[in-house]
Amino acid sequence: MIGRVLVLSVLFGGSFLSYFGFEKDTLISRLSLGVGGILGLILAFILLKLLFKGLSVVLKYGLILALFLILGFALYEGGKGTLPSFFSKDVSLQKSKANPSSYKNKIISGIVRSVPSGDILQIEGSFVRLYGIDVPGFSQKCLDKDGRAFDCGYESRQRLENLALGKIVECQLITGDTQGNYMATCSLNNKELDIGVAMVYQGWAVALNSPVYAAYEKEAMAAKKGLWAGKFTRPQVLREAQ
């Protein structure tokens, strides 16, 4: 009896880990989401097996399978599109049926809770891609000034994290969707510092369809800052080649 209670306690505790993992975006929380999800499924299986005790084996496991399929479909549909794809420029806002122009010039502000990539900020429950800049992906390798390869996508994210994580930012929206995913220009210190400008001027991002940021890119290039200290391929060129 004590053994059964202990097992159920562990399973209940593990299932709570999945809630922690769903609410945050860190490596630990992703691991907790996986572990908690598995433990939660085992717990649900045990409870359902007890609930259907007395039925034939075929009917019992048929009902359990049907309930799991229904639950899985509900979770998939409920969570679909709530997070942008951090490893692709084809974020969900580009597929939204919402009118992008309805978000233009609107303002959102808040504390930056996480930095998923070098051009995305999580502001409270929303994800904002910085307009007018482009950064290396996590799989891209660049060369530093000594010709050594390094993970420039991770370095770019680290620079944006150093700049904005935990700070209050204000973003002027350009496009968006109903899922809380936006494209915007964002600033710090009461609009004194444009985050996109800072990333491009420091050389950890390049300008993308923005004449304003292109001017800062030329300065970073001339001064051999950031990515410009060594050699790299523009992220857009790599994407187009794939």
**Is the per-residue pLDDT at 85 higher than 60?**
no
**Segment 88-136, tens digit of pLDDT:** 443 333 333 344 556 777 899 999 999 999 999 999 889 999 999 999 9
What mean pLDDT value characterizes the chain?
76
| Residue-level pLDDT at 225 | 97
SS3 45: helix
Q: Which CATH number fits domain 92-241: 1.10.3720.10, 3.30.1330.10, 2.40.50.90, 1.25.40.10?
A: 2.40.50.90
* Residue 11 and residue 39 in contact, taking contact as beta carbons nearer than 8 Å: yes
Q: What is the pLDDT of residue 48?
A: 57
pTM: 0.61
Q: What is the DSSP letter of 103?
A: G
Cβ neighbors of 36 (< 8 A, separation 6 or more) are 14, 15, 16, 17, 18, 19, 20, 21
**Residue extents of the structural domains in the chain:** 2-79, 92-241
Instruction: Yes or no: say if 135 and 204 are a contact pair by the CB < 8 Å rule.
Output: yes
Higher pLDDT, 102 or 150: 150
Query: How would residue 34 be classed by pLDDT, with cut points 50, 70 and 90?
Result: low
